[in-house]
Amino acid sequence: MMIKAKVVNLFKEKEHNDHVYSPGDVYPAEGYEANSERVKFLSQVHQKYKKIYLAEIEVDEENDEGEAKKPEAKELAEQNTNKNEFPKHTGGGWYMLSSGEKVHGKDEALAAENALQKE
């Protein structure tokens, strides 16, 4: 099973020898593996920092018959996304959309999120 995700907020990954991930990076970095529980944790709103760190989670997994299975980490991320209201205020007039994209200005963020929901 191979999990990849887009980093949306800066963080230091303790499980990857303190590797620093910046917004736009792919998680995990080359040479590291992603743990589904860790991806789940990083894709949820952190209790202390009120941020998510991973979005757009992709899981490449096949069962014995070669058919794609519904990946657990992706399901959890989708459930988390559906539970939270977007756009989320991240500070300084910036808002995060459900796609992980950041937009400046509340009206612009609301319009962009509405457009995403219609897709």
- The whole-model pTM stands at 0.53
Confidence check: pLDDT of 108 > 50: yes
Q: What angle do CA 21, 60, 112 make, to 5 degrees?
A: 60
Residue 30: per-residue pLDDT: 93
Residues 6+ apart with CB under 8 A from 64: none
pLDDT tens by residue, 64-81: 445 555 455 556 555 555
Of 103, 99, 10, the C-alpha closest to 57 is 99
* pLDDT attached to residue 63: 46
What's the mean pLDDT in 1-13? 91
Q: What pLDDT is stored for residue 93 in this prediction?
A: 84
